[in-house]
């Protein structure tokens, strides 16, 4: 490195330690999504309601006293909550929608706190253990208890805990990518070039300044040519830097997804034994959710040791500017929460949206894509249970196939990207094209699990990585809070509409038409995003506030 250039050198041991801490939380938390959120939790909530529900049309015969009906029979199980009778499958979807609404309030409120480096790690660990304990409490709540509706509260708390902790987790991703070895080398090359670049003031004084010849150029031809060459080289290095940074971000993100999927597969296979032995009973479903909570809490402990905290959370110096967080001695959590909501209102003003038009366009596309994809997963599981009457063991097998395919997808697609030289946005556009069959037989469910898993695993990794390129430096948690509102734990519109469709028509199959339309609606928005301008606007963005 050129003498005189202030540059934070690459510390391999420190970086590897922080990366392991981040990956360990992906390994811990993704299990809750795979085992509980997308598989056992929807089934368990439906089973809680079914154990307390009655068959239509008379609503006098308890659903738990009869064997599963043949798929051709049009008899539904409903449960009474307050003064309303709702479909037992819709109960699970409505609980999910409510949990997402509360999760959105939480992640928006904590955005400013999680952007405060000394508190980011504390936020992550608090919500991690809050969510894990909520999942563990399913072990002691029986569906025969008069308190069975508390299952909805536990599900809501677990989902809020997961969503809020992942916002803090994602906020580490841009820094981890910037501190990687290959990105550090490119950044060092840029700093070296800047240090060795000749200053205009150091050039020989032009003759025009010593004579009356006003037509003489201010810089000599040699000086102009030298500066132009340096500008070209700097522009090339900048382009290479952003390409390497984009690849590093997607690589780390995809590795986190793959590790999380691997953990989910391990626990799914472990739960297959008790769920099969107990015939898919409500207790076996509660046991699976409780075990996911234990796994979540246990493997979050390495993150507490390895993730950077208040003593090692200095931001990485950017190529174009240095972003520094200024801690305030009178920092207050209450004031930060109030400011977070004020800031959200300011961020959503039209003049602010115009400054980050591409970022907001991507958020709109992500809202449709993520909400649609995630709802497809939970809807397919409920469809397999309530309409195709697939046993719990078959649903677990589908639960294993999907993340296994996801691991393959999340690892193979980065290799394809490097081979073809595609950008993150190009990969996302390619991955979005998911098609669905009629889902009339269990065989089609298995085929969908393979195809959907291979696409969705890579989709999650690239979506998170690409978004990191479009957010202002130093405000990662605040912007990832908006991102997480429709993340895999946060689908809101999809479950609500699917629940209404199931209640209105009595057939959850019709919901798939709505979900496919939802996913494809994101295509024109995604294609309109200008990546380079969006990246530049994010780097230059300064929130002014005001009226």
Return the minimum-mean-pLDDT range out of 48-57, 73-82, 216-225, 449-458.
Answer: 216-225
Mean residue pLDDT of the chain comes to 76
Question: From the centroid of its chain, how far is CA 486?
Answer: 8
Q: How many C-beta atoms lie closer than 10 Å to residue 244's C-beta? A: 18
Q: Distances in Å between the alpha carbon of 259 and those of 98, 288, 302?
A: 29, 20, 15
pLDDT of residue 7: 44
Confidence band for 69, pLDDT divided at 50, 70 and 90: very low
Q: How many C-beta atoms lie closer than 10 Å to residue 238's C-beta? A: 15
Tokens of residue 94, six digits: 């409505």
pLDDT of residue 3: 39
Q: Which CATH number fits domain 18-196+230-319+338-540: 1.20.1090.10, 3.40.30.160, 1.20.1250.20, 3.40.50.720?
A: 1.20.1250.20
Q: For the chain, what is the radius of gyration of the CA atoms?
A: 26
Dihedral angle sign, alpha carbons of residues 93, 375, 114, 290: positive
- Tens-digit pLDDT profile for residues 445-502: 787 777 777 777 677 777 777 788 888 887 777 787 777 765 654 566 777 788 788 7
Confidence band for 296, pLDDT divided at 50, 70 and 90: very high
Average pLDDT over residues 305-320: 58
∠ CA(419), CA(468), CA(322), 5° rounding? 115
Is residue 207 exposed (0-12), middle (13-18) or buried (19+ Cβ within 10 Å)?
exposed
- Residue 450 and residue 401 in contact, taking contact as beta carbons nearer than 8 Å: yes
Q: Give the strand pairing for 84-87 and 77-81.
A: antiparallel
| First-to-final CA distance of the chain | 46
Which sequence spans correspond to the domains of the chain? Answer: 18-196+230-319+338-540
Closest CA to 150 of 161, 134, 166, 162: 134
Res. 156: pLDDT tops 90 = yes
Euclidean distance between CA atoms 216 and 236, whole angstroms: 31
0.85 surpassed by pTM? no
């Amino acid at each position: 490195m050129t003498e005189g250039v202030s540059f934070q050198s690459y510390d391999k041991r420190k970086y590897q330690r922080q990366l392991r801490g981040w990956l360990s939380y992906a390994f811990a938390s993704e299990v809750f999504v795979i085992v509980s959120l997308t598989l056992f939790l929807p089934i368990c909530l439906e089973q809680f309601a079914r154990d307390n529900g009655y068959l239509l049309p008379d609503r006098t015969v308890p659903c738990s006293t009869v064997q599963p009906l043949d798929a051709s029979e049009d008899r539904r199980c409903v449960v009474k909550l307050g003064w309303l009778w709702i479909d037992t499958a819709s109960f699970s979807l409505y609980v999910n929608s409510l949990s997402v609404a509360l999760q959105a309030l939480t992640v928006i409120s904590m955005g400013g706190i999680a952007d405060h480096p000394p508190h980011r790690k504390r936020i992550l660990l608090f919500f991690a253990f809050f969510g894990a304990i909520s999942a563990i409490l399913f072990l002691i709540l029986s569906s025969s208890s008069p308190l069975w509706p508390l299952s909805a509260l536990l599900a809501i708390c677990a989902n809020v805990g997961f969503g809020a902790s992942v916002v803090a987790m994602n906020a580490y991703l841009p820094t981890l990518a910037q501190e990687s070895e290959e990105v550090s080398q490119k950044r060092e090359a840029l700093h070296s070039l800047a240090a060795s670049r000749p200053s205009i003031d150091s050039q020989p004084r032009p003759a025009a300044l010593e004579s009356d010849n006003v037509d003489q150029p201010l810089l000599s031809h040699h000086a102009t040519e030298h500066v132009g060459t340096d500008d070209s080289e700097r522009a090339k290095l900048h382009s290479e830097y952003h390409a390497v940074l984009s690849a590093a971000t997607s690589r780390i993100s995809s590795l986190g997804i793959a590790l999380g999927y691997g953990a989910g597969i391990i626990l799914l296979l472990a739960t297959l034994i008790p769920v099969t032995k107990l015939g898919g009973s409500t207790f076996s479903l509660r046991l699976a959710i409780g075990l996911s909570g234990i796994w979540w809490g246990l493997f979050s402990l390495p993150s507490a040791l390895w993730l950077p905290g208040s003593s090692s959370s200095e931001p990485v110096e950017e190529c174009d500017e240095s972003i520094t967080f200024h801690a305030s001695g009178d920092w207050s959590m209450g004031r930060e929460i109030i400011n977070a909501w004020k800031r959200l209102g300011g961020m959503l003003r039209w003049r602010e949206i115009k400054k980050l038009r591409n970022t907001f366009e991507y958020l709109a596309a992500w809202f449709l894509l993520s909400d649609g994809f995630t709802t497809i997963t939970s809807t397919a599981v409920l469809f397999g249970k309530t309409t195709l009457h697939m046993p719990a063991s078959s649903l677990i097998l589908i639960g294993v196939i999907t993340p296994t395919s996801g691991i393959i997808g999340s690892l193979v697609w980065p290799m394809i990207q490097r081979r073809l030289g595609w950008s993150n946005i190009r990969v996302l556009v390619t991955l979005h094209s998911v098609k669905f069959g009629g889902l009339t037989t269990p065989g089609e469910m298995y085929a969908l699990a393979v195809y959907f898993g291979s696409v969705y695993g890579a989709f999650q990794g690239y979506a998170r990585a690409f978004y990191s390129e479009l957010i202002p430096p130093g405000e990662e948690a605040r912007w990832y809070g908006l991102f997480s509102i429709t993340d895999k734990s946060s689908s809101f519109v999809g479950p609500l509409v699917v629940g209404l469709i199931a209640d209105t028509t009595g057939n959850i199959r019709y919901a798939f038409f709505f979900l496919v339309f939802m996913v494809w609606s994101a295509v024109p928005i995604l294609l309109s995003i200008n990546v380079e301008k969006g990246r530049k606007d994010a780097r230059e963005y300064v929130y002014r506030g005001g009226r």
